[in-house]
Structure 1
Amino acid sequence: MNSSKNKLISIIIPVYNAEKYIVETLESIRKQSIENWELVIVDDASEDNTELVIQEYIKEHPSRSIVYEKLSQNSNAAVARNEAMKIAKGSLFAFCDADDLWESNHLEVALKYIEKEQADIVYSTMNVVDDQTGEKIGMQGPSEEHINDFPNSLFWSPYNFIQPSAVVMKRGVYEDVGGFDASFRRSQDFEYFLNIVGAGYSFYYISDITSNLRRGHISSVSSISLLAEYHALALRKHRSINRVPRSIRMDALSYSHLIVAKNVYKKKPIKAAFFLFWSWFGNPIKIKYLLFIPLLYIYSFFSQFKNLFYIEEKKKF
């Protein structure tokens, strides 16, 4: 059997308006301690100088295997990643976002554990660095409890603790389960990892930290709310995964949908009622959630009536 060190690794990078950071990211890849890799970059129809910057980088490093493709219209990172995986020739896939950074031993460490542990996917914690100063400001990854209770923890954790830029996986996983679900506007990676868990593949956590996640502005409330919504939708989509006990799956389904309902009930009571129903579906014992649904419909009706009345009053004057 060939050693993993002799296998080609396809590095998958989706880019969109990444002119500011992409060269630094590419340099962190170029400096890897192993050299048997190809780089597949798919541009999600960037509107800045990303294409120019990447093409110039390719010219400056002709000895490197770098494939660049630009999509005709903007979609999302899932579409770009899927296109890159179709192009990729390697027996292993390593994901990297366009603004993240790898330490020089990132691929070497990942390959070591894929071979040693016979894992289908390896992942690790990432350092979080300030996008302006480059200083470390924290870490993002699983807790000890997440690791010890995997894959159950993927359901009960309120956030996704597996970051794409810290993941290396075997090509066979992609050939079996396919690519990312492009209908997800957020939490595409979380949904993908749930899909892989459901297919029965093995994950292994690496304690070495060999990647860096840039963190800049604080996310808006609307962005956080949308992330919570798609997190809940991913749990609903994969609520039948038998590897995880049903009680854990249903509790996660119930809790995640309740969070979304609480986030949106003032502005979108109909949507809140829908998510409350799924919260109740996940845990029917908590029937009190269901009692809020007619109240939300009543609230929605009077809100619309109030708006109509306000419009009519304005017309009079």
Structure 2
Amino acid sequence: MNSLISIIIPVFNRESIIKMTLDSIVAQSYTNWECLIIDDGSTDQTELTIDEYSKKDSRFKFVKRPINLIKGANSCRNYGYTLAKGRYINWFDSDDIMKPTFLEKKVAAFKDNTDAVIHRNNYANYQLTQFRDSKFNYQNDKNLFYNYAMETIEIQTCGFMWKKSFLEGKPLFDTSIMRYQDNEFHIRMLAIKTLKVEILDTVLATIRSGDGHDSQISAKANLTKQKLYDVFYYRYQCLQLAKYGCIDVDANFNKTIAKKTLWAFYAGLRFETSFIKRVKDFFKYHSKIQFVYSNPQLGYIDAWKSLFYIYKTIVFR
């Protein structure tokens, strides 16, 4: 099989780090690819850095996000898809690193009826001195939707290679959210019952964390109210898709996800210092909160306990 693969990378001010990513793409054993790098309005030397690669290798294409499109990585990912010419789509991040057989092993796993191939990654700190493999405790008696939502497996943006024809006509990345964007996209795709996925229990990419500082401190410092509300929305999506899509989940799934959903909303609420805005936030998400509480597996104790904390936070923070 020698089908064209479209690699789509959103980029913003990455001149200091993207070279290693692009070098890992150049080093691929599978050579029939195009790499669409969608710039989100960089103000550093990112364009000049990428221009060095595109002059040497025409498979690299640097494109600026049209100004009429909303700013953000999701918008760039979606725009890149509209430009892609490949039979297969693989979104990638500008600080991640492909193993040499990243493309080869994934494209070889496709069968006639396969819609997507997934694989393991490993995670590294910014300096690439510490590593851990992603969780991949796939429960064979559960569907992929269940495993992904319950986080027994970890799959980042680059962990899926998609058949482009499967994605046609489907909403892609939600441009209104800032956190768990890839999770929210993936869980909607995994909720499609006709989806056929091949699973590779193989580490094929390295996901770099942090920004040059301690990754855990950086992650906490970058948390915002809206990002936590986006996590809430993702968890809500998991419950809603499972219920209305009639996906095979159990009571433990509903209870676990419901509790995590309410925790995310409570955590977001605590970020807001204004009483008036906390009240507005509660009513903004009220219908979704009610949906979570309508879950009979949540239990009275957990429901009342979470409701108490939410009301307490609204009044007293």
| Displacement of 1:204 | 2.3
Shift of 1:143: 1.8
What SS does the corresponding residue of 2:166 show, helix, strand or coil?
helix
Q: 1:281 to 1:48 in 2, by over 3 A?
A: farther
Is 1:241 aligned to residue 245 of structure 2?
yes
1:254/1:278 contact within 8 Å kept: no
Q: Deviations over 1:99-154 (max 9, x none)?
A: 10001111110011123x8421111111212322x234212242233895422122
Partner of 1:280: 293
In the TM superposition, 1:19-168 aligns within 5 A as 19-61=15-57, 64-71=58-65, 75-115=71-111, 118-132=113-127, 134-145=128-139, 149-157=143-151, 161-168=154-161
C-alpha distance in structure 2 between counterparts of 1:296 and 1:41, whole Å: 42
Structure 1 pair 93–72 and aligned structure 2 pair: CA distance change class (3 A): closer
Q: C-alpha separation between the residues in 1 aligned to 2:35 and 2:12?
A: 16
Contact 1:10 1:37 in 2 (8 A): yes
Which whole-Å CA distance do the structure 2 matches of 1:296 and 1:235 have between them? 17
Q: CA distance change for structure 1 residues 129 and 296 in 2, over 3 Å: closer, same or farther?
A: closer
Structure 2 length-normalised TM? 0.81
5+ long unaligned stretches in structure 1: 304-317
Computing the radius of gyration from Cα coordinates, the structure with the larger value is 1
Q: Give, in whole Å, the separation in 1 of the partners of 2:113 and 2:171.
A: 21
1:230 Cα deviation from its structure 2 partner: 2.1
The aligned counterpart of 1:314 is: none
Question: Which is further off, 84-93 or 43-52?
Answer: 43-52
Would you say how many aligned residue pairs link Structure 1 and Structure 2? 294
Code of the aligned partner of 1:232? F
- 1:192 pairs, out of 159, 180, 185, with 185
Percent pairwise identity = 22
**Kept in 1: contact 2:232–2:265 (CA 8 A):** no
Is 1:203 matched with 2:207?
no
What residue identity is the alignment partner of 1:256?
A: K
User: Is 2:181 aligned against 1:177?
Assistant: no
Quickly say closer, same or farther: Cα 1:300–1:198, change in 2 above 3 A.
closer
Q: 1:101 to 1:6 in 2, by over 3 A?
A: same
SS in 1 for 2:139: helix
For 1:83, give the aligned amino acid. Y
Pair 146,13 (structure 1): closer, same or farther in 2 beyond 3 Å = farther
**Could you say if the C-alpha distance between residues 264 and 67 of structure 1 is closer, same or farther in structure 2, counting changes exceeding 3 Å?**
closer
Tell me: CA distance 1:284–1:70, structure 2 relative to 1, closer, same or farther (3 Å): same
What's the offset of the Cα at 1:11?
Answer: 0.7
Q: Residues 161-216 of structure 1, C-alpha deviation per residue, up to 9 Å, x if partnerless?
A: 21112221100122042321111211111111111122221222211211111123
In structure 1, how many angstroms separate the alpha carbons of the residues matched to 2:89 and 2:223?
29
Aligned to 1:263: 267
Q: CA deviation at 1:83?
A: 0.4
Q: Deviations over 1:209-264 (max 9, x none)?
A: 11111123221166287555323312323512223337466435422222124424
**Which whole-Å deviations, capped at 9, do the CAs of 1:4-63 have from their partners, x for residues lacking one?**
x221111111111111111111111011111111111111111221112111221133xx
Gaps of 5+ in 2: 273-277
Is the Cα–Cα contact under 8 Å of residues 127 and 136 in structure 1 kept in the other structure?
A: no
